[in-house]
Structure 1
Amino acid sequence: MMTPINGKVVLITGAGRGQGRQLALSLAAQGALLALNDISPINVDEVAREISANGHGQARVYIHDVAKKVAVQALINQVLDDFGHLDILINHANVQPSAGLLEMDEWDLHRVFEVNTIGAFLVMQSAARVMREQGNGLIVNLLGSFGPSSPPAYSSSRLAVAGLTRQIASELAAHGIRVYGLAHGLDFPDAFAPAFPGASQAVEALCASQDIPSGSILRLSA
Structure 2
Amino acid sequence: MAHDVPVIGVLALQGDVREHLIALATADAVAREVRRPEELAEVDGLVIPGGESTTISKLAVLFGLMEPLRARVRAGMPVYGTCAGMIMLADKILDPRSGQETVGGIDMIVRRNAFGRQNESFESAVDMKDVEGDPVEGVFIRAPWVESVGAETEVLAEHGGHIVAVRQGNALATSFHPELTGDHRVHGLFVDMVRAEQGRRSL
Shorter-chain TM-score category? 0.3 to 0.5
In our comparison, the structure showing a higher alpha carbon Rg is 1
What is the TM-score normalised by the length of structure 1?
0.39
Higher helix share: 1
Higher strand share: 2
